[in-house]
Amino acid sequence: MKEMIEELNKPSDPSLAPGEARCPGRSVEELLGGEDSANEPGLMANSYQFLGDHDLPFSRYTSQEFYDAEMKHLWPKVWQWACREEHVPKPGDFQVYDVGPYSAIVVRGMDNEIRAFVNSCPHRGMQFADAGTAGSGKQFLRCPFHGMSWNLDGSLREIPCRWDFPHVEDDEFGLTEIPSGIWGGFVFINFDKNCEPLDDFLEVLPEHFKNWGLEDRYVAIHTYKELPGNWKMCMEGFLEAFHVLATHPEGLRTSSWANTQYDVFGKNVTRFLQNLSTGNPHLDQTQAEIYGALGNNPDDLPAGKSAREQHADNLRNTMGQALNVDLSEVSTSIMLDSIEYHLFPNACFFPGIQIPLIYRFRPTSVGTCVHEILILQPVPENGERPAPAEVSKLSIEDSYHKVEGFALAHVLDQDTENFHRQWRGMNASFKQGQTLGNYQEVRIRNLHNTLDEYLNT
């Protein structure tokens, strides 16, 4: 381990231009190019760009004025996923999505179309349903204040005491519909009627994910946890693998964390691709030792086969049986690796089978946010799609171990424990900002560059 630290701490070649330095050892591209993962064009894509090395001011996180600017110029202007299609499977099903003061109600109509409306009665502004609530079997949307109602397509249905509203025209008194769209089984909404098309906003996501089938998965676990810190600060803790060394040291012998690949595909989409089950390229390990570190009997590793290949085969078999799906054609990287795509501003999508996480971060104040995690598992090949899991709500102090069956609870507890100290440190710092790595933390810089486009518009 000492030798690994010494190798990783060597300064970069001074002849390299900023952003060109890489960790010694095999690259992701080299590893994937030698296995079945090379057949996945999305996995083999490589798109880094140097975005500068200036400090990012802590005031972007701690300032109430900056937070207020986000509420005014970002959240009402950007695409964000509100729910899954399976949350509104039948006509009359609805789900409420809120961020800051903005609220939308997503409804499946009698024509089976999914629409989104501002969650506000045109009469006197009453919300149709509370934040975070859902329901089913609606024939229409009825205001709980005075009983006015609207059809599920947003058209006016009834005004009690209609004689007192001769000035109301039916065609002009419908619900306020906002743009919505579907990708990968996720329902997206935008509070801006003049927004760009969802397909354009998604950039490379539809092309990269076209064979990874997020739409063919179901919500097996859904957590909702309060976090102590600005939404950007907390989310950025999940945008790099640099923190594995100190935060997740148990993974140092089985992963290529320091050789993670970072990609900037556009202003809205970035990615990290961290190889797992590889052993650490900076340690002297035999394949049998790596296989044992993955929880297997070292003596069971077939001759001539790498620990990573055999571990992938093991999981294809055991997870395939447990999930009642055929995983035989799933590539090794999709089977094993930690692959995270970030979609601006607040969503992360993992296409993997072993690590099938979906994240969403929403601000609740300048110094608090909510982190939601969905575990998406493949829909069983025999039988109906399982109903989406109920939301497990956790307070700031709660451990993820309270969530039954959450295999990644320990890792998520390690991640979120950092935020108490980081938030206090940001506010206490005499230094005015954070200093980012040029490569490993480029996704954070890209996030802020795109954010500035909204704030400066």
Packing angle, helices 442-455 and 64-73, rounded to 10? 70
CA distances from 294 to 73, 81, 283, 299, 311 (A): 47, 35, 15, 13, 8
* Sequence-ordered list of residues with C-beta below 8 angstroms from that of 227, at least 6 positions apart, any chain: 234, 368, 369, 370, 371, 396, 416, 419
Find the length of the chain: 457
Encode pLDDT of 85-125 as tens digits. 999 999 999 999 999 999 999 999 999 999 999 999 999 99
Question: Which tens digit of pLDDT belongs to each residue from 303-359?
Answer: 999 999 999 999 999 999 999 999 999 999 999 999 999 999 999 999 999 999 999
On the 0-12 / 13-18 / 19+ scale of CB atoms within 10 A, 258 is buried
pLDDT at res. 7: 60
Sorted by where each starts, the structural domains of the chain and their CATH numbers stand as 2-61+210-455 (3.90.380), 80-194 (2.102.10.10)
Examine the pLDDT at 367 and tell me if it is beyond 70: yes
- Of 407, 9, 17, 32, give the one whose Cα is nearest residue 256: 32
CA distance 345 to 77: 11
Give the per-residue pLDDT at 301: 96
Q: Supply the Cα-derived Rg of the chain in whole angstroms.
A: 24
CA–CA gap between residue 108 and residue 432 (Å, rounded): 48
- The position carrying tokens 């490589």 is 46
Cα–Cα dist 48/28, whole Å: 13
Q: How many other C-beta atoms can be found within 10 angstroms of the C-beta atom of residue 192?
A: 13
Nearest to 377 by CA among 355, 410, 408, 362: 355
Backbone φ and ψ for 176, nearest 5 degrees, come out as -85, 105
CB–CB of 73/453 below 8 Å? no
CA 363, CA 358: separation in Å to the nearest integer?
17
Q: Tell me what pLDDT residue 457 has.
A: 82
CA distance 241 to 274: 7
Q: How many CB atoms lie within 10 A of CB 86?
A: 18
3-state secondary structure 15-51: CCCCCCCCCCCCCHHHHHHCCHHHHCHHHHCCCCCCC
- Mean pLDDT, rounded, of the chain: 95
By C-alpha distance, which of 164, 133, 157 is closest to 143?
A: 157
Tell me what the mean pLDDT of segment 2-9 comes to.
62
Q: Between these two residues, 7 and 431, which has the higher pLDDT value?
A: 431
Q: Rounded to whole angstroms, how far apart are CA atoms 188 and 198?
A: 8
Average pLDDT over residues 134-139: 94
Q: Which two tokens stand for residue 293?
A: 């570190």
Mean pLDDT of 166-170: 97
Instruction: Identify residue 88 by its one-letter amino acid code.
Output: V
What CA–CA distance (Å, rounded) separates 185 from 30? Answer: 32
What is the β-pairing status of strands 134-135 and 141-142? Answer: unpaired
Determine the Cα–Cα distance for residues 320 and 353; give it in Å rounded to an integer. Answer: 10
* Contact in structure between 149 and 140 (CB atoms under 8 Å): yes
| pTM for the model | 0.96
Residue 218 pairs with which residues in a beta bridge? 377
Closest listed residue to residue 64, CA positions, set 365, 362, 448, 361: 365
Q: What per-residue confidence (pLDDT) applies to 382? A: 86
Using a pLDDT cut of 90, give the percent of the chain over it: 94
Q: What is the four-CA torsion angle of 372, 375, 381, 385, rounded to 10 degrees?
A: -30
- Strands of 114-118's sheet in order across: 134-135, 94-99, 102-108, 114-118, 177-178
* Mean pLDDT (whole number) for 168-172: 96
What tens digit of pLDDT does each residue of 38-78 get? Answer: 999 999 999 999 999 999 999 999 999 999 999 999 999 99
Q: Nearest Cα to 259, choosing from 200, 338, 356?
A: 338
Q: Given pLDDT bands bounded at 50, 70 and 90, which one contains residue 247?
A: very high
Calculate mean pLDDT across residues 347-372.
Answer: 97
End-to-end Cα separation, the chain, in angstroms = 49
